[in-house]
């Protein structure tokens, strides 16, 4: 019997990540909350008799609030949201903190949905979305009071370039908040390949490699928050949301697709829970301090 050689997980281009998001847009909505970053969970949250999507969205909004607190963003200020997804973190922050937000993403499907949500929330005048690659941002130098990238860095093939771009767009003295997915336990090539295929992630760095990327970008690390304990409940909620939508997924994409997803999603969520970490880093450009 011949064994299939395992190909090490390759770096993805932004075009490949964008194509993955365009193709997976509908599915992403059916396995996450309103946002697509990890939630901040409190004991007993998952025992509440509410739909899993509602529980996930509430925990995600709590995490968004925590990130706003870390950035200490003030009413009237302008935040750049790099990798804005369907716009919910931007809209939540704009509503709660009375700020302006510009969101960017490489996925046109996400931007269309984000603009729809902004209009529905009556906030299209101060929350705007447009195309933009984190590693080559279209925004002017020094034009934002704060910048964040929530769960978009796992997709970047050159995180140092991404960090430098975030710093370039921030005004002197501004803070930046970036979340990183890490290898908490060393991952095999097969697991990294699974993450690339399931979620379009580039190979995940270790905690020390993240610190090296921040140093290489010339940024000062002001605070690190290890939020890894919130991965497991988020993955549990995603698994439940998937089950709630499974019949719809089978109807839309076909039963063989849903059968494959049953195993692929479960394996990937188990990997994220057992072997990865979640870091939120508050950063500052030393030249701007
Ligand atoms: C896991 S989702 C998180 C979305 C959003 N930040 C949230 O918390 O709901 C990752 C986001 O990063 C975006 N992304 C991936 N690669 C990117 C790149 N090179 N430049 C800009 N955005 C990117 C994706 O399109 C998606 O919006």
Q: How many CB atoms lie within 10 A of CB 43?
A: 7
Separation in Å, CA 10 to CA 155, 207, 213: 11, 20, 19
Overall average pLDDT of the 29-43 stretch: 96
Please check the confidence at residue 10 and state whether its pLDDT lies above 90: no
Which strands make up the sheet holding 170-183, listed edge to edge?
A: 127-131, 100-105, 78-82, 144-149, 170-183, 276-284, 220-226
Pocket of ligand 1 (CB under 6 A): 14, 17, 21, 35-37, 82-85, 88-89, 105-107, 110, 133-135, 150-152, 155-156
Please check the confidence at residue 256 and state whether its pLDDT lies above 50: yes
Contact 39, 231 (CB under 8 A): no
Dihedral over alpha carbons 180, 183, 184, 186 (to 10 degrees)? -170
pLDDT bin (cut points 50, 70, 90) of residue 2 is: very low
Overall average pLDDT of the 149-176 stretch: 96
pTM beyond 0.85: the answer is: yes
Q: What are the residue ranges spanned by the domains of the chain?
A: 14-288
Report the atom number in ligand 1 closest to the C-alpha of 107: 25
Separation in Å, CA 215 to CA 71, 110, 222, 257: 20, 32, 12, 43
How far is it, in rounded angstroms, from Cα 204 to Cα 219? 20
Q: What is the pLDDT of residue 5?
A: 46
State in Å: Cα 159 to ligand 1 middle: 13
- How confident is the model over 258-286, as pLDDT tens digits? 999 999 999 999 999 999 999 999 999 87
Q: Which of 18, 37, 63, 105 to mutate to test the pocket of ligand 1 (most atoms within 8 A of CB)?
A: 105
CATH architecture classification, 14-288: 3-Layer(aba) Sandwich (3.40)
Q: What is the pLDDT of residue 287?
A: 65
């Amino acid at each position: 019997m011949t064994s299939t050689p395992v190909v090490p997980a390759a770096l993805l281009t932004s075009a490949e990540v964008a194509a993955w998001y365009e193709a997976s847009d509908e599915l992403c909505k059916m396995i996450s909350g309103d946002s697509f970053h990890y939630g901040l969970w409190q004991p007993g949250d998952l025992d509440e008799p509410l739909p899993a999507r509602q529980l996930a969205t509430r925990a995600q909004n709590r995490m968004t609030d925590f990130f706003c607190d870390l950035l200490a963003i003030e009413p009237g200020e302008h935040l750049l949201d790099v990798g804005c997804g369907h716009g919910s973190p931007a809209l939540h922050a704009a509503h709660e903190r009375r700020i302006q937000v510009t969101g960017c993403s490489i996925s046109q499907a996400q931007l269309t949905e984000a603009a729809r949500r902004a209009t529905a929330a009556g906030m299209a005048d101060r929350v705007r979305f447009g195309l933009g690659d984190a590693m080559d941002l279209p925004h002017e130098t020094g034009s934002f009071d704060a910048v964040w990238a929530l769960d978009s860095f796992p997709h970047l093939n050159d995180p140092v370039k991404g960090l430098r771009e975030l710093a370039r767009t921030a005004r002197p003295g501004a803070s930046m908040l970036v979340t990183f997915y890490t290898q908490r336990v060393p991952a095999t090539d097969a697991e990294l390949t699974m993450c690339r295929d399931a979620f379009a992630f580039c190979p995940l760095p270790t905690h020390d490699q993240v610190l090296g990327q921040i140093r290489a970008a010339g940024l000062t690390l002001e605070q690190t928050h290890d939020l890894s304990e919130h991965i497991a409940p988020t993955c549990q909620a995603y698994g439940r949301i998937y089950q709630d939508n499974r019949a719809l997924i089978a109807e839309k994409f076909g039963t063989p697709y849903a059968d494959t997803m049953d195993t692929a999603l479960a394996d990937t969520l188990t990997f994220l829970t057992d072997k990865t970490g979640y870091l939120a880093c508050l950063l500052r450009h030393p030249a701007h301090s």
